[in-house]
Homo-oligomer: A and B are copies of this chain.
């Protein structure tokens, strides 16, 4: 739709005036491909999003049928190695069963390389936007790539979830990697090392789109005004595929931990927190969050603030994915490798960054842009 000029660049951080001089890639410069484990078509999904969930005008989708079909043709089967049972059950029967993590990585990397070559691309940015995996057993992952690499041959022994296999495939092939989910991805030091070794870059994790964005905006206010937050409850309800996957307690654990952490980092004292995520089918992609913040002010007087957020989940996430791709590409042009910490404002759990206040994170982005 952006390519065809059907919509304004609303929601795109990279289209703000203060980033114009960086000359982010244009929509014409960009080609979309990917991996998928379900047997779906993008046009069908987009129509469902627009008609069933009322996310946007279906006529916009109908005008982009050709583009969506072209992208579909560039989508290859993903891997279900170590995705956890709930996600594995969603896979199409045609998805190949990889014999080892190494085999999976090789297959995925071949797809990425072929995609780059076929489309004549200078730079591939692999973004993980798949459903949240169960918490990985990070204790079992060695700290260096030299130690981790030999484990890839044995599916039973290798503790890496699918998201990390994609990360290895991408970084090992010199592509950039962005983790938009709380899954493990390139979080392990050993995998981050791979980015450096191959002169490429990565960032993550977990796109900060709605309720957690609000937390990173509101919590600093309480801290700066020396108001004492006693409890912060966040209740999230929605009914899309992500919600369905998060209905599995193992997958939900990963997500809740990512949503919950930052309050203790921003506030001087850890308040009692509670985050719940419930799959409510009728809501579809419309994530509704209710936050209740209980705090004391002067003389110990208890006060309360409540927030209701009604946002369309995919629509909030989509422009940030494009932003991350564009900013990562600018970093490549500037010769930056390794972990891209200037992208912290986009993530719930920014790798390598202890600053959780959204304004300070955004300022870091602006400062990077101004350099």
Binding site for B on A (CB under 8 A): 1, 7-13, 15-16, 51, 54-60, 213-214, 217-218, 220-221, 224-228, 230-231, 233, 235, 237, 272, 274, 276, 278, 280-283, 288, 290, 292, 294, 296-312, 315-316, 318-319, 345, 357-360, 362
What are 12 A-B pairs at a CB distance below 8 A? A11-B298, A12-B226, A12-B298, A13-B225, A55-B299, A230-B282, A233-B280, A282-B302, A283-B294, A301-B315, A304-B310, A308-B308
- A316 and B221 CA atoms in complex are apart in Å by 13
Q: Which of B51, B306, B316 contacts A307 (CB 8 A)?
A: B306
Q: A226: which of B11, B58, B302 is its contact (CB, 8 Å)?
A: B11
Binding site secondary structure of chain A: mixed
Residue pair A274, B282 in contact (C-beta under 8 Å): no
Q: Are B220 and A359 closer than 8 Å at their CB atoms? A: yes
Residues on the B chain within 8 Å of A319, using CB: 226, 297-298
In angstroms, Cα B274 to Cα A298, docked, is 30
Partner of A10, one of B300, B308, B359: B300
Task: Give A8 Cβ to nearest chain B Cβ, in Å.
Answer: 7
The complex places the Cα of A10 from the Cα of B272 at a distance, in Å, of 18
Q: A300 CB to closest chain B CB, in angstroms?
A: 6
| Identity of the chain B residue whose Cβ is nearest the Cβ of A298 in the assembled complex | B11
Taking a contact as CB atoms closer than 8 A, the residue among B1, B280, B299, B308 that contacts A60 in the complex is: B299
